A and B are shown apart, each in its own frame.
Chain A
Amino acid sequence: MAAVSYKNIGKSFDNGAPAVTDFNLDIKDGELMVLVGPSGCGKSTLLRILAGLETASQGEILIAGEVVNDKTAQQRNVAMVFQNYALYPHMTVRRNIEFPLKMMRLAKAEIKRRVDATAKLLELDMMLERKPKQLSGGQRQRVAMGRAMVREPAVFLMDEPLSNLDAKLRVQIRAEISALQRRMNTTTLYVTHDQVEAMTLGGRVAVINQGCLQQVADPQALYEQPANIFVAGFIGNPGMNVFKTELHSEHDQLTIRWGQQQLSLSLDVKRKEALQRYICKPIFAGLRPEAISCEDTQNVDATITVKVESIEALGHEYLLYFKSDVVAVDTDRFLSDGEITMRSIMVARLAGRVDAKAGEKIELGLMLKQLYFFDEGGMAVL
């Protein structure tokens, strides 16, 4: 049981750009914290710094209020589940699980008791005498969990523990991990690059990009109030369409430009006030794919004509990729220093069936009440 803090952590490897910069994060005792971000953003590095496998170039790591920068991995009392499990190939499941206990020099009877209890909990008791190669992927994953749990560590670290499993098993074990974590109430850091996984685990989520923390919040808040363009585009499936536009005011009515059209917005007073500063200035607007519809429902308050690029049928819904009069921002590559890459395709998530072919022009309705705004630096405007 322990709270964990990253304080101004920075890390640069001998070669090249920093992998992590000025990273601050507080994880409460017993909390499940998910670190999510695109490949190469520094998630594993952050975890390894906490585990003591990597030393931070700057900053402090605190476990249970104590600075542990100079402590060894074992002294920190953290346990880690590796992406490839890293089971000891020459040892049986039992030997694998008891290895950390042997290193702690516990009594034989105690070791046996703990291993048996852990094996039972993870339903591994039938295969204690097998070697890792004689196990399925899911079973290996559970052995790796067992080896980490058996120590009753202060902090649990998991680096993409499910990425080697097939989609169905992933959903199942994800739920198991989440339930187990709640039951054991051990502070846990969970790394994934999959935002769906991050959202469904049930803990707070820290979104990271290029070694910088973007936002920490619970899943719903991340979705509803993304702090910046990166989070807006990263969270959601698919992510938000963000485009560059201008804000105008006509007879006390705010409008945005969409190609040749001016779309008038009906916003509440608070948002109107927040937006006053941006009138006649370039601004980024964002619209979730769910806020675009091909039917004329009552939520739709503007219609646009778009050119269909492609349609993906997912069974219960359709993803419609289209080109329009506005240019979308590539949110993945949006850097905090304001460099913007444009991509021309936007996406809508449609519940109903669409009978359109690539290249055709169709009309789509926009639910402008759900419009998000970001300033030139990409930060959310209320």
Chain B
Amino acid sequence: MRRRWLINISIYISLLLLALCFLAPIVLMVVGSLKPDAKVLIEAGSLKAVLPDQLSLQNYSDVFTRVDFMRYLLNSLLISGSIVVVGLAVNSLAGYAFARMQWRGRDLMFALVLMIMIVPLEAIAVPLFYEVTLLGWRDTYIVQIVPFIANAFSICLFYTFFLGLPRELEEAARIDGAGVFRTFVSIIVPNAKPVFATVAILTFLMQWGAFLWPLMVTSGEAVRPLPLGIAAFYTLPPLQWGDIFAFGVMMVAPILILFLLFQRWFVRGVAATGIKG
């Protein structure tokens, strides 16, 4: 009896320690952002790192005065948002075409899509850079949006989901007189909300943190997204850790809000269909 109790206690303690390891960086970031710059590094090793003796919002206002935070935020929202919205349309249609339509070369094309998934951006960044330079797209929003709209991973997610939808739904719509596009919009999309939500969130998360590509193709503040803004602090003397933390908090916050808003969709599996069984 007593032994059991001890085992339970030790399991909980190890779980707690593990959780602390993962939470620590986030806690340090949030607490650090509320402390005077000078103290951030000095206290990092002591208990004061998590239990500060004085708090202020100074760092937050510093962020706004030292860099054009709103600019970065709006850029990020515009870029990620466009990629998500246009990407949902493009990738869902592509996934549908692969899952449900008969056309010549479909299987070959799908194999190519699967292969693209394996190629990381870093591997093709330089040739892609040449391409957009030739197009004269440097230093624009377009260059940060267009290359990321079609996404092999999203296509695959849509593809698998559409394959799982009962075929009879589409056949019923066809007999009822709906064309392919109408069927897609009126019948498929409303029954595929979970996959749309999943793809939207994953895409948004991925694009929100984009760093390498924007760094390569942009130079001015005007069109740069948040990750480049936070990087600007490292090169902006004097180096102030509190400001960096404050920037970080504000950068993560929109994602957290988004996640909380859509959690219901994200977590909920396949919506119940009206098909019996």
> Chain A: residues with CB nearer than 8 A to chain B?
51-53, 72-74, 78-80, 82-90, 99-100, 103-104, 131-133, 137, 140, 147, 151, 164
Contact = CB atoms under 8 A, between A and B. Distances in A.
6 contacts: A84-B166, A86-B171, A87-B274, A88-B187, A133-B272, A151-B176
B250 to A, nearest CB: 38
Interface string B168-179: 110111111110
B273 interface: yes
Contacts of B136: none
Nearest to A80: B175
A100 B198 CA distance: 31
A233 B238 CA distance: 94
B169 A78 contact: no
Contacts of B182: 103
Contacts of B171: 51, 53, 80, 82, 86
B118 interface: no
B275 A89 contact: yes
**Residue among B166, B171, B182, B190 with the most chain A CB within 10 A?**
B171
B168 A84 contact: yes
A84 B174 contact: no
B25 interface: no
A140 B175 contact: no
A103 B182 CA distance: 9
B166 A74 contact: no
Given A137-B276, A140-B274, A86 B177 contact: no
Nearest to B182: A103
Contact of A89 (B176, B177, B178, B271): B271
Contacts of B177: 73-74, 100, 103-104
Contacts of A83: 168
Nearest to A164: B276
Of A52, A78, A86, A133, most buried by chain B (CB within 10 Å of CB) is A86
A103 B276 contact: no
A79 B176 CA distance: 7
Nearest to A74: B177
A90 B194 CA distance: 13
Contacts of B178: 99, 103
Nearest to A83: B168
A84 B176 contact: no
B182 to A, nearest CB: 8
B277 interface: yes
Interface string B183-203: 000110011000000000000
Contact of B172 (A82, A90, A104, A137): A82
A103 B169 contact: no
A86 B272 contact: no
Nearest to B167: A86
Interface string B140-182: 0000000000000000000000000010110111111110001
Contacts of A131: 274
A89 B274 contact: yes
A90 B274 CA distance: 8
Contacts of B166: 84, 86
A85 B276 contact: yes
B176 A147 contact: yes
A133 B274 contact: yes
Given A86-B171, A88-B187, A100 B176 contact: yes
Contacts of B169: 86, 88-89
Contacts of A72: 174
Contacts of A89: 169, 191, 271-275
A264 B172 CA distance: 59
B191 A80 contact: no
A84 to B, nearest CB: 5
User: Which of B171, B172, B191, B277 has most A Cβ within 10 Å?
Assistant: B172
A133 B186 CA distance: 18
A85 B172 CA distance: 9
Given A83-B168, A84-B166, 16 more contacts: A53-B175, A74-B175, A74-B176, A74-B177, A80-B171, A82-B171, A84-B275, A85-B276, A86-B275, A87-B274, A89-B191, A89-B273, A90-B274, A133-B272, A140-B276, A164-B276
Contacts of A151: 176
What 5 pairs across the A-B complex have the smallest Cβ distances?
A: A89-B274, A132-B274, A103-B177, A86-B168, A74-B177
